[in-house]
Structure 1
Amino acid sequence: MIKKGDFVKISYTAKLEDGTVIDSTDESVAREHGVYEEGARYGDIVVVVGEGHVLKGLDEDLEGKEVGYKGTVEVPPEKAFGEYDPDNKEVVSITKFSERPVPGQRVRIGEKTGIVEKVIGRRAIVDFNHPLAGKKIIFEYEIKELIDKPEEKVKYLFLIYTGRELVPEIEDGRVVVEVPRDATFNQYFLLGKFTVVDQIFKHLPEVKEVVFTEKFERPEEKQETEAKEESSEGKEEAQKETEAKEE
Structure 2
Amino acid sequence: MSTITTILDLISRSHLAMGVLSVVTAPIVIGVTLTKFRNGNLRLSQGRTKRLYDIMNRKQGGCSASSGALQIAVKDMLGIELPGDAIRFALERDSPLTLLRNIQQAGVLVKFHHNEKCFKDARTRPRLSLQQIFQALILLAIVPYVALIFVGIVFKFIEPIKVAALLTLDLIAMPMIIKAALRADAAARLLKADTVYPPPHPKVGLRDADRSETSPRPRKRRTKASGNEGTAQEEPTRVTASAGVLPALATENV
Which of structures 1 and 2 has the bigger CA Rg? 2
Q: TM-score, normalising length from structure 1? A: 0.19
Higher helix share: 2
Between Structure 1 and Structure 2, the one with more strand by share is 1
Give the structure, 1 or 2, with the largest relative contact order (CA under 8 Å, sep 6 or more). Answer: 2
